[in-house]
Amino acid sequence: MRPTKRDELVQKALQAFYQNGFHATGMDMLVKETGISKTSMYKHFRTKEDLILAVLRLRDEHFRNWLYRRIEELADTPKEQMVAMFDALEEWFDEDGYKGCMFIKASSEYQDSSHPIHKQSADHKRMLESHFTAIAKEAKLSNPDAIARQLLLLKEGAIVTAHLGHTENPAQDAKRAAITLIEACSN
């Protein structure tokens, strides 16, 4: 299957939602920015919500692929890879147009935990957690679940702090904290 207009729509909608927010981005704005007619959009997605869910699916795929690969490029051993996550994050924060985490944003606009958009955002975080728990196990750290959760707290904190922009280099702060935490459960 070659790239369809549908894929193009989802990709461009991702940009628009990421830069402007979900409620603030209307379907008419999407028509303007994508050049795709509203009729076509509604042939592919029954509602705006369905489109957002597809956007989040794409974002999840792209982000996790990027992060997992980048970490492997930056470090060899599992223990070093957990630290390298924060170098990868710093690269992301430094990108033009960085506007925080799409899933945190989504859960900020669709707050009810029973809302499909909220649920799907939580799923994304869960997948990150299990991935880093696995790495922590490879690294033979004591209490791999706990250290993975702690590092991910630092990650989420760095993401929102980088977006708020009130400290200089949250990725490096998080990295130093991560090193201390990993040290503390290494034997």
Partner DNA sequence: ATTTATATTTACCGATCGGTACACTATATA
Partner DNA sequence: TATATAGTGTACCGATCGGTAAATATAAAT
* Residues making contact with a second copy (CB under 8 A): 19-21, 23-24, 99-100, 103-105, 107-109, 111, 113, 118, 121-123, 125-126, 129, 146, 149-150, 152-158, 160-161, 163-167, 170, 173-174, 176-177, 180-181, 183-184
Shortest CB 159 distance to DNA, Å: 25
C-alpha 101: how far from chain center: 5
**Closer CB to a second copy, 36 or 159, in the complex:** 159
Neighbours of 114 (CB within 10 A): 7
Torsion 99-178-142-150 (CA) sign: negative
**Which C-beta is closer to DNA: that of 52 or that of 128?**
52
Provide the minimum distance between the beta carbon of 109 and DNA in the complex, in angstroms, as a whole number. Answer: 11
Burial of 148 (0-12, 13-18, 19+ CB in 10 A): buried
- Compute the half-sphere exposure of residue 64: CA atoms within 13 Å on the CB side of its CA: 18
CB of 4 to a second copy, least distance (A): 30
Least separation in angstroms between CB 7 and DNA = 9
Tell me which of DNA, a second copy, none is bound by residue 66, counting a contact when its beta carbon lies within the kind-specific cut-off of 5 to 8 angstroms: none
How crowded is residue 87: how many other Cβ atoms within 10 Å of its Cβ? 15
The site for DNA (CB under 7 A) is made up of 4-6, 23, 25-29, 35-40, 42-44, 46-49
Q: Give the largest CA-CA distance in the chain.
A: 61
Cα separation, 97 vs 26, in Å, equals 20
> Closest approach of Cβ 44 to DNA, in Å?
6
Give the one entry of a second copy, DNA, none that residue 55 binds, where binding means its C-beta sits below a cut-off of 5 to 8 angstroms depending on kind.
none
CA–CA dist 42, 5 (Å, integer): 12
Which of DNA, a second copy, none does 2 bind, CB closer than 5 to 8 A by kind? none
